Amino acid sequence: MFNRLKPVLIFFIFLVGLACGLFVNQNLFKKNNAKLAINDQKNTNINTNLSDQSYSLLDLPLEYFSNKDVRSGSAGKGTGDKITDYTQVTLDNKAVYQSYPTVVTTIKNYSSEIKPLKVVSFNEIMQQFSKTDPGWGETIVKDNYQKYGSLATNYLPTDYIATLNKFDIDGDGIPETIVTYNYTGAADAGSYRSDIIKGNNIIFSVQEDNASIKPADTTNGFYVEWANLGDGGRCCSEGFIRTRFVLKDGKFVPIYEQEVRYLKVGKE
């Protein structure tokens, strides 16, 4: 009799053990999920605190800082040749805030389309300029041509070359020409845009507001720094966006970006 019931008892004991195991695992699963939920909430709080933090004015003497780092300042006394001529300043120095890079990029107005440089004579430039003369840009046009020669004619007369730099951006060991330009006669805080020139062609252009191209950590690609006009406009921006570009499949593409906030110092 017992021998006949033995398999049944063994199967019953197996079922009881299985049920107990499932119950324990379920409780452990709930506890782990609860811990994960708490950690997620903590992470959410951390991220929220980071995004909501205020970039308040530091009440510190301005003489502790360098005038060369001033990006904008409020009227004080003097001509602005010394940092103490201001009451408040925004500074682009080593103390700026930088967000952790994100692969979600927001830059839109750029192109890797190859475009040949336009080269025309200075007489043609002046003829075009005479038709659209704003009344105060002739000196800029003449000085720009004298400084940059035929390269300037790609931009004149509607735009002028503001800066010209050279560094390698595609890893071939040959520096490319980096041109930042602005509207002829525009104020210093006007909308700068930038091109990369290789040989006789423009191989990259960026049209974001106040866009400049900076060397990267390697010779593959570069940084584009451009204005976030939601903060202070052109004249008094509180920072900028820095977007990293690399060369991929023959085109320059963005791979990450971060926000940079200037240091604000002075008296309320």
**For each of the chain's 268 residues, which pLDDT tens digit applies?**
445 544 544 444 544 454 555 444 444 444 444 443 434 443 333 233 333 455 678 888 888 888 888 888 876 776 767 888 888 888 888 778 889 999 999 999 999 999 999 999 999 999 888 877 656 688 899 999 999 999 999 999 999 999 999 999 999 999 999 999 999 877 666 689 999 999 999 999 999 999 999 999 899 999 999 987 565 566 677 889 999 999 999 999 999 999 999 888 988 7
CB-based contacts of 257: which residues, under 8 Å, 6+ apart? 101, 102, 105, 106, 107, 241, 242, 243, 244
81 in a domain, yes or no?
no
Alpha-carbon distance 65 to 61, whole Å?
A: 8
Alpha-carbon distance 229 to 56, whole Å?
A: 19
Residue 53: CB atoms within 10 A of its CB come to 10
Q: Smallest Cα–Cα separation from 120: which of 157, 147, 161, 165?
A: 157
User: What's the DSSP call for residue 118?
Assistant: P
147 in a domain, yes or no?
yes
Q: What angle do CA 178, 89, 77 make, to 5 degrees?
A: 115
Q: Smallest Cα–Cα separation from 89: which of 67, 107, 110?
A: 67
Helix (H, G, I), strand (E, B) or coil at 77: coil
218 in a domain, yes or no?
yes
112 in a domain, yes or no?
yes
- For residue 143, what are its two tokens? 């000085």
Give residue 83's pLDDT: 86
239 in a domain, yes or no?
yes
Give residue 230's pLDDT: 60
First to last CA, the chain: 96
The reported pTM is 0.72
Q: Are residues 36 and 132 in the same domain?
A: no
Give residue 191's pLDDT: 84
Alpha-carbon distance 72 to 90, whole Å?
A: 5
Pairing relationship of beta strands 97-98 and 251-261 according to DSSP bridges:
antiparallel
85 in a domain, yes or no?
no
Structural domain total, the chain: 2
Q: Are residues 204 and 260 in the same domain?
A: yes
Asked whether the bond before 157 is cis by omega within 30 degrees of 0, the reply is yes
Q: Which domain holds residue 114?
A: 92-266
